[in-house]
């Protein structure tokens, strides 16, 4: 049973649709989808039919059948390139949604549709979002009404900010806030990529974040070039108010605007200091006192070998500094693209570096691998 629906009455035009999603060798049925903005609507294309269902709005529902299916790792090398992540070969969209959707069913799989300039909210537990296209600034939020979804998986999906001035209303990043795993994701020119946060939510805190085998390209939004005084603090992965994060075999690139300091961006990887400690090398990003977070901090260190974050295979390039961390982080096989930064290759608090720090300046070969 979904916690949000047990304890909260959602506002707006709530419309339930019973959706059957057929994947290879398995059927996922009786899934509740709610819209907080307007009645369920969309443009049906291939692999979908309208079926009779007296429990659904208008006594009808949409039945999805399998299109091009996700099928595990398609990359021939360790680090992905755009052609081996994201939507699988043969993929087709079964529906297009231009208004926000809410996924509330637990233990469900959603696949093969398009979100256009809108937010896909996840409130159910153990939800998988697979083979979904997000365009015109669309994205995913695992937080609603101060509740965070549990164990969301996002895989083999595509995200693009192109065509929009900013992200869809309600988003601070393309995937936010926590309690999710993103694998084999292709982000192509998004303005803010992924967030690890939500630890201090009032009702239900977010869990850990894992990014695996993904290719992320962050680019500056048009408004930072056209709006005087508007400063873009763009990030690839931003860890702030999070539980714990891990990154494995992933590429995060940042395209800033040359000569425009407002459009440099912050960093492809940015683990911010979580309290105002006043220590040298630890910027006071928040006024929260260290004692406030000490129980969480101690518990996280104990559970994860003395670190808040783990990096095991990461290529970064661009931004003010490609790699920034101010809290204990285990770093292995970090590759910073040589001479692709504004101020320097890394900005790291020395106290955050754990034993076994393994980082390299590198060039990237024709196969997208560091050399």
Say if CB 186 and CB 158 are below 8 A apart: yes
> What pLDDT digit, counting tens, does each position of 90-132 carry?
999 999 999 999 999 999 999 999 999 999 999 999 999 999 9
Q: Highest mean pLDDT range out of 11-20, 57-66, 329-338?
A: 329-338
pLDDT mean across residues, the chain: 78
With 70 as the cut, is the pLDDT of residue 290 above it? Answer: no
Nearest-Å Rg of the Cα atoms of the chain is 21
Question: Can you give the pLDDT at residue 203?
Answer: 72
Residues 6+ apart with CB under 8 A from 239: 195, 196, 197, 209, 245, 270, 271, 272, 308, 309
| Exposure b/e, 31-40, CB count within 10 A at least 16 = b | bbbbbbbeeb
Q: How many CB atoms lie within 10 A of CB 143?
A: 24
* Separation CA 308–CA 310 (nearest Å): 7
Q: What is the DSSP letter of 306?
A: T
Nearest to 156 by CA among 72, 82, 222, 224: 72
> What pLDDT digit, counting tens, does each position of 43-56 carry?
444 444 343 333 33
Domain boundaries defined on the chain = 3-12+99-362
> What pLDDT digit, counting tens, does each position of 315-357 carry?
999 999 999 998 889 999 999 999 999 899 999 876 667 767 9
Lowest-pLDDT range, 148-152, 288-292, 334-338? 288-292
- pLDDT grade for 155, boundaries at 50, 70 and 90: very high
How distant is the alpha carbon of residue 307 from its chain centre? 21
* Residues paired with 237 in a beta bridge: 194, 269
With 60 as the cut, is the pLDDT of residue 16 above it? Answer: no
């Amino acid at each position: 049973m979904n916690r949000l629906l047990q304890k909260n009455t959602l506002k707006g035009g709530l419309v339930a649709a019973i959706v059957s999603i057929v994947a290879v060798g398995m059927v996922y049925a009786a899934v509740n989808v709610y819209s907080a903005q307007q009645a369920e609507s969309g443009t049906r294309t291939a692999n979908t039919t309208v079926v009779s269902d007296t429990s659904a709005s208008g006594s009808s529902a949409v039945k999805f059948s399998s299109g091009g299916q996700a099928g595990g790792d398609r990359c021939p090398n360790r680090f992905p390139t755009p052609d081996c992540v994201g939507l699988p070969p043969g993929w087709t969209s079964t529906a297009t949604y231009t208004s926000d959707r809410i996924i509330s069913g637990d233990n469900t799989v959603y696949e093969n549709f398009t979100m256009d300039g809108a937010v896909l909210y996840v409130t159910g537990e153990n939800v998988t979002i697979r083979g979904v296209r997000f365009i015109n600034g669309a994205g995913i939020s695992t937080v609603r009404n101060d509740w965070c979804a549990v164990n969301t998986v996002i895989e083999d999906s595509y995200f693009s900010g192109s065509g929009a001035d900013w992200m869809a209303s309600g988003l601070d990043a393309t995937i936010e806030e926590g309690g999710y795993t993103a694998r084999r994701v292709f982000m192509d020119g998004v303005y803010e990529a992924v967030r690890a946060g939500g630890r201090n939510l009032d009702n239900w805190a977010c869990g850990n974040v894992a990014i695996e085998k993904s290719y992320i390209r962050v680019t500056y939004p048009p408004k930072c070039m056209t709006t005087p005084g508007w400063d873009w603090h763009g990030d690839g992965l931003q860890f702030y108010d999070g539980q714990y994060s891990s990154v494995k075999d992933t590429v995060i690139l940042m395209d800033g605007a040359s000569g425009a300091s407002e459009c440099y961006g912050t960093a492809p990887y940015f683990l911010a200091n979580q309290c105002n400690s006043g220590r040298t090398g630890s910027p006071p990003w928040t006024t929260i006192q260290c004692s406030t977070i000490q129980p969480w901090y101690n518990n996280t260190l104990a559970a994860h070998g003395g670190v808040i974050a783990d990096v095991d295979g990461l290529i970064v390039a661009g931004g003010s500094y490609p790699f920034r961390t101010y809290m204990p982080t285990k770093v292995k096989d970090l590759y910073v693209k040589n001479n692709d930064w504004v101020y320097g290759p890394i900005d790291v608090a020395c106290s955050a570096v754990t034993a076994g720090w393994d980082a390299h300046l590198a060039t990237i070969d024709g196969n997208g691998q560091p050399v």
